[in-house]
C-alpha cells in the first residue's frame, strides 16, 4: 500500500514522514536528483510530527466541512482538522532549518567539527540540534497579546573530544533562519553551574574502554569463565558473555571508579540479558583519558574480594572453592504464549469503536489539539520526549507547561553492580526510543497516530506512529444517582495523548488524559525486563525469583514539571488539611471529638518541599488569591495522587550526590524563572558532585505568595520484583499518576455540559420516560449509519520501524529504515 493510499488514522501518521521538502538552496547541487517515490507521493511541509500533506488528506476525507451531529456515513473513521490560534512556538526545527544549522556549524573553523562517521575519540562532533525553548514571557506575550513570535534559536550540544579534557558544550545558534547575523554563544543561563555551558565527558573513550581495558581483563580469566559457565567475553564475534557495569561512574575524591559485571548472553532474539547476571565483578580506576594510567583494583565473587587476578585465580583453582550456578537463558525469560489456554480466551476480546469518527480535532501542521473545551500544543525533545504547552479549558489557561523532566531508577543490593546503579534516563533520552506504537494494543485501533523525530549523527530519525490520540469510555460513569422515581447517569468519556519510550530494559508508557469535569491526569506505566541481581548474598535486597536470580530492589522516580497559570500568573499554594478537633458548641453541653479544616499557605521556598499528607488528609491546591468565586472561595486547581506515587527512599545517595535532589520529596514548589527551566540536565550523571543543574539551588527562600509558581511532582514506584515480574513486569501494578482537578474554579460540575447522559423516570409499573438530551443514537430508526467495528486482527505487518534522512550532506531523496535500541542499560 502506498503512503497516501488511505486516510485511516494509522495511514495518516505513516504518511506523515517528518522528512520535509527538498530544501532547495540549502545545499547547491549542479543537477538535482530525481525525487524518490516517497517524495513524489507527497509528504511535505514542516519538520514536525505532522505533515502539511496529511492535513490536506484529512480535509479531503471529511469533505472540508466541520463535523455535525447528522452523519451521512460511519464508513470512515476520520480526524477533524482545525487551524491553531497561533503557530506553535514550541514546534521543532524544520528539516531545512536543521540542515542549515548543521551546515553552518561545520563551516565554523573555530568549532573544529568532524562528521560523526569520520570522527575518532579525539575529534569534535555534533550530538544534538533542536529548537531552543522560548522564554515564557515571550511565548505568553505572543499567544495572548499579539506580540511577535519569539525569536527562534537552535539548541546544540557538541561533543568536544579533541582535548585531554573532553567535554560536552551546550551552545545557542541564532537567530534563525541562518543569515549574516547568525552567531553562536555558550548556553549557560538555565544551569546552576556556571561553566560556560560545558560539562565533562566521562564516556569520551568508550571504544578504548572495551578494546584496551575490559576485554583484555576478561580474556585474562578466560580459563575461569570457561570452567564456570563454558563462555567467554573477549570482544569477539563468537562471545557468549557481555560485560557492562554501573551508571553513573563513581566520582569520589576526584577519581573515576567503574565496577563491571558479567552477564550471560541470550540464546535467541529475546532482549533478556538483564535477567542473566552471573555474579562476577571487577573494579577499575579509569580516571583520565590515557588507558596506560588506568588501574585494575580487584575481583568480587560470592561476596569475597580479591585484590589481584593472581589471588583470584589461586583461590578459584584451590580445593573447596564454592562455584555458584549461572543464570541461563530459556523459555522462563522469553515473552510469548505459554501454559494452558483457557477455552474462552480463543474468542476475540471486547473492543471499543468510534462509530462517528473522532470527536477531537487536530491542526497537524502546528501540533495543536482540541477536545471538549480543552486545547493544547504538543512539543517533543530528544531528552524528555513529549510535552504539552498552553493547556486551556474553556479558553482559560490552566497550565503553561506539563512535561516530564527526568526518570530515575535507583537500585540497591549486596553487590557493587546493583548498589552502584542509579540511572538518569534523559542521558539516554526518551525521544530516541519512542518507538512505533502497536495499534489495538498500545492504543485503540481507532486512534490517530502521529510521528516524532530527533537529530542524531547528521541524520533525522523519524519514529513512525509513535504518538497516539484517542477518546475512550471508562468502565464506570462519571456521575449517577438513583431514587425511587428516577435514575440519572452520565457517560465517562475522556481523551488521551500517549507515547511509549523503551529506555534500555524498561518500556515507559506516558499518558496525558483529559476529563469532562475539567480534570487532567498524567500517568506512567512500566513494563519490560527488570534489571536483576545474582541471588547469592542478596536476601536483604530482594526475593529469589529463579534458580540463581534475585529481583533487585529499586525505586522508580519520575519528575514532572507543572507550570500553573490559574487566572493569570499570580498564584499561591494553599494546603487544606483535615485535622482532629475537640470543641464545645453552643448546642452541646460537653466537648465533642470531631474534625475540622485547617488552612495555610506555603509562604516561601523554605517551606516548598513536602510529601503527600498522611491518611490523604491534606489537599494541595494552586489558587489565585485575587480571584474568588461568588461565594468568596479561592478559585484553583487541586493536585492529588491519581494512583500510587513515590519519592526516593535512599537518603544522600552515594551514587547521585548532587545530581538528583529533585527526587527527595513528593512535591517541590518554586517561583518560576526562565533560568530554572528544567529540574535536571541530561548530563548530570557526568559530574554528580557539580552537575550542570543542582536542583537544591532552586530553593533559595523566595516568596511564593502571588507569584508565578511551578510544581515539580514525582511519580514513581517502589519495586521489589517477584516471580510475577518474569519474563516482564506487568503494568497492572507498575503504574503511577497524578491528577489536577478544579477546586471552586467553576460554580458547578462541568460534566453537566455533555449530552451523553440520560434521565430515566419510572414508577408504579408505568413505562419509563427517558430524556436523552439530544444525543446521537446509532441504534435508532433515525440513525443515518451503523458503526463499523474495528477488525479483530490489525494489519500489524505494516509495522516498519524508523525512517532516517541524512542532514549533512542533506539528502531527503534517499531515506532508509533503521531502528536502534539501547542494547543494555
CB-neighbour burial class of residue 229 (10 A; exposed 0-12, middle 13-18, buried 19+): buried
User: Grid coordinates standing for 157?
Assistant: 550540544
Alpha-carbon distance of 63 to 820, in angstroms, equals 40
Among 205, 363, 390, 425, which one carries the catalytic annotation? 425
Q: Render the burial of 466-490: b for 16+ CB within 10 Å, e for the rest.
A: bbbbbbbeeeeebbeeeeeeeebeb
Q: What is the DSSP string of 488-526?
A: EEE--EEEEEEEEEEETTEEEEEEEEEETTS-EEEEEEE
- In 3D space, the residue among 156, 159, 150 whose CA is nearest the CA of residue 186 turns out to be 156
CA 684 – CA 389 distance, rounded (Å): 25
Instruction: Considering the candidates 360, 499, 506, 529, report the single residue annotated as catalytic.
Output: 506
Listed in order, strand segments (DSSP E) in 275-432 are 277-285, 295-301, 304-306, 361-363, 368-371, 374-381, 385-393, 396-411, 422-424
C-alpha cell at 518: 475539567
Catalytic: 306? no
Closest CA to 636 of 599, 665, 606, 673: 599
* Region of 747 on the Ramachandran plot (φ > 0 left; ψ -120 to 50 alpha; else beta): alpha
Q: What number of helices (H) and strands (E) belong to the chain?
A: 10, 40
Query: Does residue 506 carry a catalytic annotation?
Result: yes
Specify the pairing of strand 167-174 against strand 154-160.
antiparallel
Q: Are strands 422-424 and 183-186 parallel, antiparallel or unpaired?
A: unpaired
Contact 505, 530 (CB under 8 A): yes
β-strand pairing of 448-456 with 459-473: antiparallel
- Of the CA atoms within 13 Å of residue 563, those in its CB half-sphere come to 25
List active site positions: 425, 506
Amino acid at each position: 500500500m502506498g503512503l497516501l493510499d488511505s486516510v485511516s488514522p494509522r495511514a495518516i501518521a505513516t504518511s506523515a514522514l517528518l522528512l520535509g521538502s527538498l530544501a532547495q538552496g540549502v545545499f547547491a547541487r549542479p543537477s538535482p536528483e530525481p525525487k524518490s517515490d516517497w517524495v513524489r507521493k507527497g509528504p511535505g511541509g514542516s519538520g514536525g510530527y505532522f505533515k502539511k500533506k496529511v492535513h490536506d488528506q484529512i480535509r479531503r476525507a471529511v469533505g472540508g466541512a466541520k463535523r455535525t451531529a447528522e452523519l451521512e456515513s460511519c464508513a470512515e473513521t476520520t480526524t477533524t482538522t482545525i487551524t491553531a490560534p497561533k503557530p506553535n512556538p514550541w514546534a521543532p526545527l524544520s528539516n531545512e532549518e536543521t540542515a542549515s544549522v548543521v551546515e553552518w556549524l561545520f563551516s565554523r573553523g573555530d568549532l573544529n567539527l568532524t562528521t560523526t562517521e569520520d570522527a575518532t575519540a579525539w575529534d569534535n562532533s555534533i550530538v544534538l540540534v533542536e529548537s531552543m525553548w522560548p522564554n515564557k514571557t515571550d511565548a505568553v506575550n505572543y499567544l495572548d497579546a499579539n506580540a511577535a513570535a519569539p525569536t527562534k534559536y537552535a539548541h546544540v550540544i557538541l561533543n568536544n573530544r579533541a582535548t585531554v579534557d573532553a567535554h560536552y558544550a551546550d551552545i545557542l545558534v541564532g537567530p534563525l533562519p541562518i543569515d549574516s547575523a547568525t552567531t553562536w554563544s555558550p548556553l549557560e543561563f538555565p544551569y546552576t553551574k556556571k561553566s560556560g555551558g560545558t560539562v565533562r565527558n566521562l564516556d569520551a573513550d568508550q571504544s578504548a574502554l572495551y578494546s584496551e581495558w575490559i576485554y583484555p581483563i576478561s580474556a585474562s580469566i578466560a580459563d575461569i569463565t570457561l570452567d564456570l559457565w563454558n563462555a567467554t567475553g573477549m570482544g569477539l564475534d563468537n562471545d557468549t558473555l557481555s560485560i557492562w557495569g554501573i551508571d553513573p561512574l563513581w566520582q569520589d575524591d576526584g577519581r573515576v571508579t567503574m565496577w563491571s559485571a558479567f552477564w550471560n548472553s541470550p540464546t535467541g532474539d529475546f532482549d533478556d540479558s538483564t535477567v542473566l547476571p552471573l555474579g562476577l565483578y571487577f573494579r577499575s580506576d579509569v580516571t583520565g583519558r590515557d588507558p596506560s594510567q588506568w588501574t585494575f583494583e580487584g575481583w568480587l565473587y560470592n561476596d569475597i574480594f580479591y585484590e589481584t587476578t593472581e589471588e583470584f585465580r589461586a583461590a578459584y583453582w584451590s580445593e573447596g572453592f564454592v562455584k555458584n550456578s549461572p543464570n541461563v537463558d530459556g523459555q522462563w525469560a522469553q515473552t510469548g504464549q505459554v501454559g494452558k489456554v483457557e477455552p474462552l480466551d480463543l474468542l476475540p476480546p471486547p473492543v471499543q469503536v468510534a462509530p462517528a469518527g473522532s470527536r477531537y480535532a487536530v491542526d497537524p501542521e502546528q501540533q495543536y489539539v482540541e477536545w471538549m473545551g480543552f486545547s493544547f500544543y504538543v512539543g517533543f525533545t530528544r531528552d524528555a520526549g513529549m510535552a504539552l504547552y498552553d493547556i486551556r479549558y474553556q479558553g482559560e489557561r490552566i497550565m503553561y507547561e506539563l512535561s516530564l523532566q527526568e526518570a530515575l531508577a535507583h537500585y540497591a543490593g549486596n553487590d557493587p553492580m546493583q548498589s552502584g546503579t542509579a540511572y538518569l534516563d534523559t542521558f539516554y533520552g526518551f525521544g530516541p526510543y519512542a518507538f512505533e506504537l502497536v495499534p489495538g494494543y498500545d492504543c485503540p485501533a481507532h486512534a490517530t497516530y502521529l510521528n516524532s523525530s530527533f537529530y542524531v549523527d547528521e541524520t533525522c530519525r523519524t519514529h513512525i506512529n509513535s504518538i497516539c490520540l484517542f477518546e475512550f469510555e471508562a468502565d464506570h460513569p462519571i456521575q449517577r444517582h438513583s431514587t425511587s422515581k428516577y435514575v440519572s447517569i452520565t457517560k465517562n468519556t475522556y481523551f488521551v495523548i500517549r507515547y511509549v519510550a523503551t529506555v534500555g530494559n524498561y518500556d515507559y508508557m506516558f499518558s496525558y488524559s483529559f476529563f469532562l469535569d475539567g480534570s487532567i491526569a498524567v500517568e506512567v506505566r512500566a513494563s519490560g525486563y527488570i534489571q536483576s541481581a545474582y541471588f547469592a548474598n542478596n536476601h536483604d535486597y530482594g526475593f529469589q525469583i529463579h534458580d540463581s536470580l534475585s529481583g533487585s530492589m529499586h525505586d522508580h522516580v519520575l519528575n514532572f514539571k507543572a507550570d500553573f497559570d490559574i487566572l493569570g500568573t499570580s498564584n499561591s499554594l494553599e494546603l487544606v488539611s483535615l485535622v482532629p478537633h475537640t470543641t464545645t458548641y453552643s448546642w452541646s453541653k460537653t466537648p465533642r471529638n470531631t474534625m475540622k479544616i485547617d488552612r495555610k499557605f506555603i509562604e516561601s521556598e523554605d517551606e516548598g518541599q513536602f510529601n503527600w499528607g498522611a491518611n490523604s488528609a491534606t489537599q494541595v491546591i494552586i489558587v489565585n488569591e485575587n480571584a474568588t468565586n461568588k461565594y468568596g472561595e479561592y478559585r484553583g486547581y487541586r493536585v492529588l495522587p491519581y494512583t500510587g506515587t513515590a519519592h526516593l527512599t535512599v537518603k544522600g545517595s552515594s551514587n547521585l550526590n548532587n545530581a538528583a535532589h529533585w527526587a527527595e520529596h513528593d512535591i517541590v514548589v518554586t517561583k518560576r524563572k526562565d533560568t530554572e527551566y528544567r529540574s535536571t540536565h541530561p548530563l548530570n550523571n557526568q559530574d554528580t558532585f557539580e552537575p550542570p543543574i543542582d536542583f537544591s539551588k532552586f530553593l533559595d527562600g523566595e516568596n511564593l505568595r502571588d507569584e508565578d509558581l511551578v510544581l515539580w511532582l514525582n511519580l514513581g514506584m517502589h519495586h521489589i520484583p517477584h516471580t510475577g515480574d518474569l519474563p516482564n513486569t506487568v503494568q497492572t501494578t507498575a503504574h503511577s499518576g497524578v491528577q489536577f482537578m478544579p477546586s471552586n474554579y467553576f460554580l458547578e460540575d462541568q460534566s453537566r455540559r455533555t449530552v451523553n447522559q440520560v434521565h430515566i423516570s419510572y414508577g408504579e409499573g408505568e413505562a419509563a420516560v427517558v430524556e436523552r438530551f439530544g444525543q446521537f443514537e446509532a441504534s435508532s430508526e433515525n440513525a443515518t449509519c451503523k458503526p463499523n467495528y474495528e477488525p479483530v486482527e490489525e494489519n500489524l505487518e505494516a509495522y516498519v520501524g524508523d525512517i532516517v534522512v541524512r542532514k549533512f550532506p542533506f539528502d531527503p531523496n534517499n531515506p532508509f529504515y533503521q531502528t536502534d535500541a539501547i542494547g543494555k542499560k
